[in-house]
Structure 1
Amino acid sequence: MQISAKHVWIFLACILVAVMATAATALSGILGMPGKSFSALPPPVTSAQADLAERMRRHVTSIASVELNTSPTDKLDEAARYIETTLASAHYTVQQQRYVARDHHVRNIEVSISNTAPGKAPARIFIIGAHYDSAPGAPGANDNGSGTAAVIELARLLKDTPLAEGTEVKFVFFVNEEPPYFNTPGMGSRPHAERLRRQGRNVEAALITDPIGCHSDDTGRQQYRRGVGAAFSDAGNFIAFVGTLESAGLIRRALGAFGSSAQFPSEGLAAPAFVEGVTFSDHASYARAGYPALMVTDTAFLRYPYYHTAHGTPDKLDYDDMARVVTGLSKAIQMMVGSKSM
């Protein structure tokens, strides 16, 4: 069959239209994330939030005052024991997922709450997680002592929360998110997500806090990658719910729950995986396993000047705003796990 120049141009035009439609869809994912965010100045912290802020300060100081990586592993082990002891003191039964990464024996840490009949698998699972290691040469108070402290306190706050029938909530502390393990089989969240997939478990949502400790009202503090920032504030005073386009539904759901109950500014971003930073945490392991997943983040290196440096120490964090965020997250999670739909 002979193909005329006219047919070639029609074919190319169709391809161009398809590409433009795909780009428009991606762009709408980047820019369009409806939901009502708190827009006034946050009120003074309550006495309960002040106590929460102080507990998180203690957690961060205990966990993230020194480098936590696998060379050597002694400080990483100390941090793991601190997390386990703190959770046990909150009357949780602590479970470990042990494995070997580059000849190092490491572990993920997990506790859970459940409303599932004895002997039955949960109908749906929520993952609330954070990594507790740090980048080489960095104490990682923000990345990710702040996220780890948040999950410790979320486990405490949600210990007795009513769950919809068949629901299980897992609070998970991952090892080896940072280099040299990031996005490799040795990354702690990878075996955790893969085990759930092998077991055929229905993970309805994975919410990963990483990091959440840097907030500023100064204009120009917040940076963005090209094509992302036009719709958002240039002050780094919000918390962001971020994931790939495949998790846009979860982002809308979580952002809506947070925005309806939290007295703290929030934004949502669903973007293609190639946008830098969108997959830069443990939520990527769950997305890779086919589960809806997002990270709750202060945007890390796009706002925090001490990212992956020796200066990322506990005194650099805003613990009052961390308490505001965790308070809002606890209420949002309660809304999500308390019923089968929102």
Structure 2
Amino acid sequence: MKKKPYLSIALVAGLAVSSIGAQAIYAKPAETAQQVQPFNVFDNKVLDKINVENIYNNIEYLSRTPRVAGTEAEHKAIQYVKEQFESYGYETELQEFTFYGYTAPHTVKLSIDGYTGEIKPKSFTYGMDGNVSGELVYAGLGQTSDFEGKDFTGKIALIKRGSISFADKVLNAAANGASGVIIFNNASGELNGTFGSPSDKYVPAVGITQEAGQALLQKLNNGESLNAAIQIEGAEAGMRTSYNVIAKKAPTNKNKSTDGIVALGAHHDSVPGAPGANDDASGTAMTLELARVMKDLPTNMEMRFMTFGAEELGLIGSRYYVSQLPEEEKDRFVGYFNMDMVGSRDAGDLVINTVDGSQNIVSQTAQASSARLNGEPTPIQTGGSSDHVSFYEGGIASGSFIHRPLEPWYHTPEDTIDKISKEKLQDVAEIVGTAVYDIVRPDNQGPKGNRGKEQKVPHLYYEQDVK
């Protein structure tokens, strides 16, 4: 992507960036490129320090093994992040929290009499062990209405993905007597899903591909009788411990500082079986690099650099962090910049996800930054399923940086370092880094925290049932 060093006059006039100190510069329609240029000097304080090799090398280290929340591998990653922050000169805190954890089963098998095609069944996070068999019966989308007038007692329900959550599909089937559930994808690729939370009402369930599901449905529609057997072993659940890693930077000039707090961060855990190079070693490594970049830059407000645990299980670490913030700190928070999956060569273009799809200081400053650097603002989309949701729930302005559409390696063992693009890492680091510095630079006497309404949005904790 070719960089454009200055905003065009039309773009400068068109961007409504009410939250930044440079507003007065933008307000003059007769500006020339030379007049806008001094503002970009502050960008250079960040741009000149970013080293994409540091980001890449930290991704490589973190993604050598899956970092499932509550495991020894995640704890090693946490210690690594802490040590990196400390090597830059930060005092760093480990914030401990406990949660109900889940270990995926070691055995997941599905056999269907009369079907010779390949089946690669996947378990669901929070799914239960079991060894069940029965006649295969189609149950549509698994909604309540799909079971009306049908007898599923002791049978295996074949259900298509869509409309309602995986958990609701399984609970509906179980409530109607089904002994097991097979859910097939509604798009190409393997189905990697979560039920979102544990329940003793689940029955054994597996996910299969769209191709396999449609082949089974075709046989049933042709009047064939099929018997299925599901075997799941090794799933474990119980209380686990994880940590958030928090590094703080005080204002460098207390005489001119504001009382605001600006934070940026990512999650350091991954899903079982996935090395998580992009999801989210990329965001963690970028947080580390931007912390290094900002350490010795003059700033007028407090900065926090954070990585969160147990994001993949429902934003648990970040929700705990926000819940522990004193009210006065919530009032001081200006914004939180979240980086989740920011480096895959196989994903789409960069977007900024805000929970409600509306502008806030995070999206505004980032759009202005990307316009200065790339000639056009990064698009905003409505989106959840990452740690910015926790801050939104606490009334704190937030946005998440991610490439859309997602890469095909999402939540798979193929999410490895060789899929990482240094060009994308560089681009996101520059946009986020200059946007954050735009807020905290010493000549900017605002903005102050603008606390919003606290509200729960649990439906945005997961990615369309998946993340």
CA distance in 1, matches of 2:435, 2:362: 12
1:129 aligns with 2:265: yes
What does the per-residue CA deviation read over 1:48-69, in whole Å, with 9 as the maximum and x for residues that have no partner? 8898222112101111221111
Matched with 1:77 is 75
> Residue 172 of structure 1 aligns to which amino acid in structure 2?
M
> What SS class does the counterpart of residue 247 from structure 2 fall into?
strand
CA distance in 2, matches of 1:294, 1:256: 11
Q: 1:35 to 1:137 in 2, by over 3 A?
A: farther
Matched with 2:429 is 326
1:154 aligns with 2:290: yes
Match of 1:245 among 343, 356, 371: 356
CA distance in 2, matches of 1:35, 1:147: 27
Matched with 1:307 is 410
| TM-score after normalising by structure 2 | 0.52
Instruction: Quote the offset at 1:240 in angstroms.
Output: 1.4
CA distance in 2, matches of 1:264, 1:67: 38
Contact 2:335-2:362 at 8 Å conserved across structures: no
1:286 aligns with 2:286: no
> Residue 211 of structure 1 aligns to which amino acid in structure 2?
M
Q: 1:309 to 1:246 in 2, by over 3 A?
A: closer
Alignment of 1:125-274 (within 5 A): 125-164=261-300, 167-178=301-312, 181-183=313-315, 187-201=316-330, 202-215=332-345, 236=348, 238-245=349-356, 247-263=358-374, 266-271=377-382
What does the per-residue CA deviation read over 1:67-104, in whole Å, with 9 as the maximum and x for residues that have no partner? 11136x11111111111111111111111111112222
> Residue 297 of structure 1 aligns to which amino acid in structure 2?
I
Matched with 1:95 is 93
Contact 1:215-1:318 at 8 Å conserved across structures: yes
Identity rate, percent: 24
> What SS class does the counterpart of residue 436 from structure 2 fall into?
helix
Contact 2:251-2:302 at 8 Å conserved across structures: yes
Of structures 1 and 2, the one with the larger relative CO (CA 8 A, separation 6+) is 1
Instruction: Quote the offset at 1:250 in angstroms.
Output: 2.3
Q: 1:190 to 1:333 in 2, by over 3 A?
A: same
Contact 1:251-1:270 at 8 Å conserved across structures: no
Contact 2:66-2:271 at 8 Å conserved across structures: yes
Q: 1:290 to 1:313 in 2, by over 3 A?
A: same
What does the per-residue CA deviation read over 1:95-134, in whole Å, with 9 as the maximum and x for residues that have no partner? 111111222221100111122898xx97211110100000
Moved over 6 A (4+): 48-51
> Residue 244 of structure 2 aligns to which amino acid in structure 1?
N
CA distance in 1, matches of 2:282, 2:243: 19
Q: 1:105 to 1:199 in 2, by over 3 A?
A: farther
Matched with 2:188 is none
What does the per-residue CA deviation read over 1:18-48, in whole Å, with 9 as the maximum and x for residues that have no partner? xxxxxxxxxxxxxxxx759xxxxxxxxxxx8
Alignment of 1:109-120 (within 5 A): 109-115=245-251
> Residue 418 of structure 2 aligns to which amino acid in structure 1?
D
Instruction: Quote the offset at 1:264 in angstroms.
Output: 7.8
> Residue 61 of structure 1 aligns to which amino acid in structure 2?
E
> What SS class does the counterpart of residue 262 from structure 1 fall into?
helix
Q: 1:139 to 1:264 in 2, by over 3 A?
A: farther
Instruction: Quote the offset at 1:263 in angstroms.
Output: 3.7
What does the per-residue CA deviation read over 1:178-202, in whole Å, with 9 as the maximum and x for residues that have no partner? 0xx215xxx1000111222545432
Instruction: Quote the offset at 1:267 in angstroms.
Output: 2.1
Q: 1:252 to 1:147 in 2, by over 3 A?
A: closer
Matched with 1:107 is 243
Matched with 1:28 is none
Instruction: Quote the offset at 1:205 in angstroms.
Output: 0.5
The structure with the largest helix share of the pair is 1
Q: 1:182 to 1:160 in 2, by over 3 A?
A: same
CA distance in 2, matches of 1:110, 1:56: 18
Contact 2:363-2:380 at 8 Å conserved across structures: no
Relative to structure 2, which stretch is displaced further, 96-105 or 169-178?
Answer: 96-105
Q: 1:191 to 1:51 in 2, by over 3 A?
A: closer
The structure with the largest strand share of the pair is 2
TM-align CA RMSD: 2.7
Instruction: Quote the offset at 1:248 in angstroms.
Output: 1.4
1:68 aligns with 2:64: no
| TM-score after normalising by structure 1 | 0.69
Instruction: Quote the offset at 1:320 in angstroms.
Output: 2.8
CA distance in 2, matches of 1:308, 1:336: 34
What does the per-residue CA deviation read over 1:222-271, in whole Å, with 9 as the maximum and x for residues that have no partner? 7xxxxxxxxxxxxx2x3211102375122542233322442486523253
Structure 2, gaps ≥5 residues long: 1-13, 17-46, 101-238, 448-467
> What SS class does the counterpart of residue 172 from structure 1 fall into?
strand
Contact 1:64-1:140 at 8 Å conserved across structures: yes
Q: 1:252 to 1:79 in 2, by over 3 A?
A: closer
Contact 1:197-1:289 at 8 Å conserved across structures: no
Structure 1, gaps ≥5 residues long: 1-33, 37-47, 217-221, 223-235, 272-277
> What SS class does the counterpart of residue 378 from structure 2 fall into?
strand
CA distance in 2, matches of 1:267, 1:113: 28
CA distance in 1, matches of 2:362, 2:50: 29
CA distance in 2, matches of 1:297, 1:194: 25
